[in-house]
Structure 1
């Protein structure tokens, strides 16, 4: 017994030399405090007094009687790296080599360290499943090399039957709880003087070997010196990168894609597919006229369920052609009047310039019982018919004028021939007549001389030209008049 106490004293002295009691005089709490205002309050377990382990010594925390659950905790005031925990429990001065009747209340306990007041949020440091009343030491010392803010003691008697040395009720009978560790955060080693690796989460590392108890976002490994790879990022490299361009690695901390996104994806982390009728690289392309306004394929822009009425093609950007319209360009245009090479409307089938003669209706598919004449047709037909009438009148006038000219020439020629024949006959008869007139003979001889003279020929030509010029000038006046009328009409 003396050897055991000496071992505990030396061990405690060495621990205290290397580490400090983080729980000393810190804030505490317990479940089911002892009633009637007794001084066995929860803070007695961290007051630093442990010389009297009896109830009368007023140095122990004692909970109420006949409870199936017992719980106590201490708030260290911050997150610290813990090395080990000492617990002194109530003995009522019973010697260790004798059976301690209060040990049966202590058997089966557990200790947790957590960053919250809930033990379920922390880690289990120790659970008693082996000790008996004869073997459990006092104080009991166990390793708890974790980091946390709350140290939680817990015991229960909720699931009988229990081992034979266990009491049927659970108690808090804690005379002192010492939580030994490094006061300065971010250090480890026996003297708490070695800095933890740079990327340890909150600067905490294992108190003896210096391995990180967790890494900051973007790093992994025992000492958190490895960046996240293989398209991962964040805490413990547990998050997957989005669809970064060409499957490049995202930022190991934030998950953003420094080189941009793959086609059809947008956002800093490239996790959102193109929407709002866009697609392609950086969602910079607009979808076509997909059926019912649906979103096209976010990468290549294809309309997966077909096109809206009036459009065709895989991207639904081509209007119906070849005199078709409507859903799937499956309908044929009606009997439209195509003035400029256009076709019917690609969606509705309406004819933009009206219908050909003999048809009417919205799409020019109904046969007319009469031939309607529109105002535009009348306006266009009046000048055309006027022009045709004038041209016809001009042709008739030219023909009549030509006939008259021909008749005039024939009359002139006949008159000339009559004069010549008459003169010749008179001369002939006079020559045979004995009673011939000398004046006639003299005139005839003069006429023959003029007829043989070149001046006489010129004179006859000039006379004929004057007679032909009169109807020609009339014809020219008619042509000028017709040109003037046609110009004004056109």
Structure 2
């Protein structure tokens, strides 16, 4: 059974709401054992009559330590609440109608016995012929427990006659008229004006009850919807909110080992009416809405509509979501296979919609290619003749996975090793090839060793010895020449720099202005005249100077 919510309420008797329906009305009812076969039919608990008249209620047999009543809802239903009306038997039950029992009620469960054969005369019974089994019927009529009646006598009341009728009850009859009976030949002997009194046992027959909901008649394996604490008070009107699913609703009680002073000695189920409110399976809530479409078996939690479980491929409280990308199936537990380009698979069955990635096959792409095949849809055949195991290859790429035969290389073993060539790579490259490497098809050398030449390095190159000598000394000669030139240039630069430095020093020390001849006194006289302003014209002055210069020269 699934998880449920249960709240116990002692309140007035609950009838079905406008939205919910009474799922128990008119349904089959079974009890542990009926009180008798004539009255207290279990079906009285689901007939819609809420009377607490003892004869209109169900009642289980006396003297039992366990008792139960089960309503079969005919199919699994979404249950919201369970309510029932207890008859109060053993503690506060309504006495039976004396018009039916011909027995005058005693409300305390302890009093004298009086009955009538007609409505005009009251009688008491002959104490000597009225035993405990007969007294049990009287206790039942009064609404008290028939288990342990106590008989006693009191003085006979005035105007009360003895009945000549006697009874032979077995104890589970409803009224005295159902017992075997007869008539005494004479009035009661040795009565000495005594009257019969009976004290009946009382006790709570409801306290300690429990309610179960189950999918099978084995109700003890179902959900315990409610368990009453015998120390807590409980009225005859009981309502329990019990949100769950199930087909069978059982009210159970036990008196195994109970020592509580207020309880009955034996277990009884005295139910007058049971209501099981809820919705048909597949519905939930106050308005009985349809359960989410992806709930397993179309069942959901009664209050919120949450699914108890989701159909394959769905998740979420109300199974409203597809499985997350990369997962599928029941509870979205399974991972998708190797779908093409990592596309998500179908969220329900896991099939790859766009096909499989290379190297995989099957509807779910969870199988490797068969031996000898590879690639997309596994439609390529492994054909690696030079692979050590040429019947299998990498299922994705088709590469050789077991290594190549000698002289072959490459992922498909289609290439020769660098030192071999030919269709079968069984011809060795020429020893004259550089590193012995050659073209894998033609065998042509990529380069030659030493002085070899030709596509196979088959030719020897002729070399002039003088040229060879020159070639061998050329480097040294050129280097020496360059070094000599460098040294000469450096020497010239140093010498020249020293020379310039020495010349500059000599010029500063030895340079003197040239001596000019002392001017003639006549020239000085002419110059003074010019300075003093005595010369009147330039022509005369220049003539005089010229003459002086001629003389000097």
Per the shorter chain, which TM-score range?
0.3 to 0.5
TM-score with structure 2 setting the length: 0.42
Higher strand share: 2
TM-score with structure 1 setting the length: 0.46
More relative contact order in 1 or in 2 (CA 8 Å, sep 6+)? 2
